Amino acid sequence: MTVAASFGLAAALSVAVLGDESGYLSGEHQKMKLAAIEAMWETQPAPAAFTVVGFPDQEARETHYAIHIPGVMGLIGTRSLDTVMPGIDELVKRAEVRIREGIKAYDALQKIREAGGTDKVTQGVRGDFEDNGINMGYALLLKRYVDDPRQATDEQIAKAAWDTVPQVAPLFWLFRVMVGIGVLLILLTGTFFVLSARRRLDSHRWLLKLAVFAIPLPWIAIESGWLVAEFGRQPWVIEGVLPTAVAVSNLGVKTLLLTLAGFIAIYTALLVIEMKLMLKAIRKGPQAEHAPDEGDTLSHIPPAHAGAAIATPSTGSAA
């Protein structure tokens, strides 16, 4: 049990370290995702506070009944005390600027295509594409509202800018479920390790029962983490480059259903086999361990050597 508890504790702590690194990388490359996880609508002075609980309201653009811990989110997202983390409102304004710059790149690209190459257009067209090409993915966000982004109205541009905000409430709560389970598993495995190392775990049978109920928790934390990743990256397949609305596959519905049915069939079969094996092992139960009887000097000798052990004294007598 001590070995199992030590491995569990080491795994839980390593996941916490990896999670911290993931939070820092999100602060560098997925600022909107991090702001949505925190439901941070407005930019806060550095270092930003961490919201323990609250009720995000995306329509009102505020978080009701929020409880904050000062400085923690700034350390997670920036690892500094003086770096400002932008809020959702500021990031939306930045997105609107990038959409307008992306439209210039989109327009230049269409002119290059019509002309048949970059060498057949003016230097100004090439300059527009080179200067604003990094933002062309933002212009593609307008495809939801208009076929040609160059024809978009100011209202459509504003809507597209707000499309860069993922669903805040699911992100907010899923992240806290994931982190909460992670902290609980660290405490649980740490308690098991200490008690098991001191040979006192058997006197706390309620902890053993609690461990059984905790079996699904790692799975719930993993699924919550995946949902945070998938909700948080919206509306992008590739951040700032390829919107999900433009990256739709050309596979038919029948193909997708057939593939899904195949996966379901395979994993269902594996689940049935695993459950049968587990039930068989449970019905068989653990092997009983018998203590050697008093005076039984052969009970600890493997059967293969028992005959030789018995024969040895008689051989000695004959000599």
pLDDT tens-digit series, residues 62-97: 999 999 999 888 888 888 888 899 999 999 999 999
Q: End of a domain among 210, 243, 276?
A: 243
| Same domain, residue pair 80 and 175 | yes
Does any domain span residue 75?
Answer: yes
Whether residues 188 and 264 share a domain: the answer is no
CA-to-CA distance for 146 and 169, rounded, in angstroms?
Answer: 29
What domain range is 268 assigned to?
250-285
The amino acid sitting at 128 is D
The CA-based angle 245-248-250, given to 5 degrees, is 155
Cα–Cα distance measured from residue 239 to residue 179, given in angstroms and rounded to the nearest whole number? 24
Among residues 162, 185, 205, which one ends one of the domains? 162
In sequence order, what are the residues at sequence separation of 6 or more whose Cβ sits closer than 8 angstroms to the Cβ of residue 245? 140, 141, 143, 144, 235
**Is the domain of 92 the same as that of 81?**
no
DSSP code at position 66: E
Host H or E run for residue 65: strand 62-69
User: Residue 290 in 3-state DSSP?
Assistant: coil
pLDDT in tens, 212-226: 899 999 999 999 999
Is the Cα dihedral 128, 130, 135, 139 positive or negative? Answer: positive
Residue 298 resides in a domain? no
Looking at the DSSP bridge assignments, the partners of residue 63 are 56
Residues 7 and 81 in one domain: yes
Per-residue pLDDT of the chain (319 residues), as tens digits, is 788 888 889 999 999 898 888 888 888 889 999 999 999 999 988 889 999 999 999 999 999 999 999 988 888 888 888 889 999 999 999 999 999 999 999 999 999 999 988 888 899 999 999 999 999 999 999 999 999 999 999 999 999 999 999 999 999 999 999 999 999 999 999 999 998 888 888 788 888 889 889 999 999 999 999 999 999 999 999 999 999 988 888 888 899 999 999 999 999 999 999 999 999 998 988 776 655 555 555 445 555 554 544 444 544 444 3
Do 146 and 92 belong together in one domain? yes
Sort residue 153 into left (φ over 0), alpha (ψ -120 to 50) or beta.
beta
Instruction: Work out the number of other CB atoms within 10 angstroms of the CB of residue 106.
Output: 24
Does 293 map to a domain?
no
Are 76 and 199 contained in the same domain?
Answer: yes
Domain boundary among 243, 266, 297: 243
Contact 32, 68 (CB under 8 A): no
- Tally of domains in the chain: 3
Query: Do residue 79 and residue 10 come from a single domain?
Result: yes
Check whether residue 18 and residue 118 sit in a common domain.
no
The H-assigned helical ranges of the chain are: 2-29, 31-37, 72-78, 88-115, 123-132, 136-139, 154-162, 168-197, 205-213, 217-233, 253-284, 303-318
Residue 166: closest CA among 64, 65, 37: 37
Does residue 106 sit in the same domain as residue 226? Answer: no
Mean predicted lDDT score pLDDT of the chain: 87
pLDDT of residue 317: 42
Q: Is residue 314 part of a domain?
A: no
For residues 154 and 217, membership in a common domain is answered with no
Q: Are residues 6 and 77 in the same domain?
A: yes
In 3-state terms, what secondary structure has residue 236?
strand
147 and 185 belong to one structural domain: no
Residue 295 lies in a domain: no
